[in-house]
Amino acid sequence: MSNPSNPVTPAGWYPDPSGDGRSRWWDGTQWTDHYAPAPATTPQVPQPPQPNFAPQTPQAPQQHQYGKPQYGQQQYAQQPYVAAPVLRAPEGTKTNTPFIWAFGAILVLPIIAFALWDLSGMMTSSFSSAFNDPTNPYAAYSAYLNPGYLAVIGVGFVYYAASVVLAFLDYRALTAAGVPKPFHWAWTFLSALVYIIGRTVIVKRRTGAGLGPLWLYLGLYVLYIIVVFAKTFIATAELMQYGTTTLGGLT
């Protein structure tokens, strides 16, 4: 409002120009001696927040820094189980390669070598050398120079090397025939038996066939064990008899 001293200002209560906070009556031309106390100020009482009953819109789950929802934000959707594809060779694939047949057949080499070895004579000669020359510390090791023993060791090395080569050729032939991921030939370095069993299992899964070479190998392997056991048993019995006779003749 304009200054009450302005002639155009109508009469009424206006703030006292002295600034004491009271109201003073303006009669339209001048200030009077009538005062009125300042109006009391009503304190503002804070109002409690009103509940919001409006429907809430669900928020999207927060994304993890790697793009996945954070744990507890939402349940992961169950993904349908997808079975791994079954590796199969083409129909009619020939898995019994000539190399795997040779792999099984060459087991006859150590069988023949062990069967022809005069194990009894070697053990008796070694015992005799150690008994007749007790002062010689190398007498008991003379058996390692036995020709039969050296022949058996040599045949064993040849068989081992031939098994590795044949396994490699068989692995390459299976791959060329279309057999997916055949059993690796390097397992032969561990044992020929490991390769033939692993190879048969994989080929059986890929083609449904290929058991023939395994039966050949297992048959010869059993024969090999029988020959070794029989030769060792006979040689041990003859050595014990020789020892009993020799020691008995000295008493």
**Amino acid residing at 66:** Y
pLDDT score, position 49: 58
**Amino acid residing at 188:** T
**CA-based torsion, 100, 104, 110, 115: positive or negative:** negative
pLDDT score, position 130: 63
pLDDT (tens digit per residue) in 82-106: 666 778 888 888 899 999 999 999 9
pLDDT score, position 9: 76
**Amino acid residing at 129:** S
Sites in the chain below the pLDDT cut of 50: 1-2, 73
